[in-house]
Structure 1
Amino acid sequence: VQWQIEQIEEAQMRGREEGREEGREEGREEGREEGREEGIQQGIQQGIQQNTIAIARSCKQQGLDTETIMAITQLSREDIEAL
């Protein structure tokens, strides 16, 4: 009877450890996925910002006034004047 109790306790301990390890692995995978998604979103935002600056620069080179460029790009006066 004592031997059976020890076997059951040992099995329970192994089960808990396996469960903890599975939980850790799931957490790591979720973290990696969230990181990838955030990276993609940041990349998209940077691309949009770079494109907006390129448009503003082109508008400025074409002689458009700052107010019009501000309306087109939603950039601040300071950002446009810095180009």
Structure 2
Amino acid sequence: MKRFDLDKISTFVIVITFVLFALALFATGFTKELLLETGVFLVSVKLIIMAHKDNLTNQQMMRELAEIKAKLDEPEPVSDMRQCA
């Protein structure tokens, strides 16, 4: 299984959102507003996870593009000059 690491800011946002969710739960109790607070919390977490996955995909694409660029920058060996003419 792959390890899922979030940056410090994303982790901080998730923790703060969860703390606010817990405070809203205790302040309002188990009412219909609980569904709204749960939705806000889940959307926040989903957006952070989606941004993290996008970042990982972008890093992978940049590595692959760097490999392609390195291959294109390599000079091609010419085995026989008579074949070029």
Per the shorter chain, which TM-score range? 0.5 to 0.7
The structure whose residues are more often helix, as a share, is 1
2:41 matched residue in structure 1? 22
1:1-83 mapped onto 2 (5 Å cutoff) = 11-55=30-74, 58-60=75-77, 63-64=78-79
- 2-structure distance, mates of 1:25, 1:38: 20
| TM-score for both structures, normalised by structure 1 | 0.55
Q: Identity over the aligned pairs, expressed in percent?
A: 6
Could you tell me which residue of structure 2 aligns to residue 80 of structure 1? none
Greater Rg by CA: 1
**Number of residues paired by the alignment?**
53
Give the superposition deviation at 1:14.
1.7
Q: Displacement, 1:12?
A: 1.5
Q: CA RMSD in A?
A: 2.1
Alignment gaps of 5+ in structure 2? 1-27, 81-85
Q: What TM-score, normalized to structure 2?
A: 0.54
Listed one character per residue, the Cα deviations across residues 22-55 of structure 1 (whole Å, up to 9, x for unaligned) are 0001110111001100100000000000001111
Larger relative contact order (Cα-Cα within 8 Å, sequence gap ≥ 6)? 2
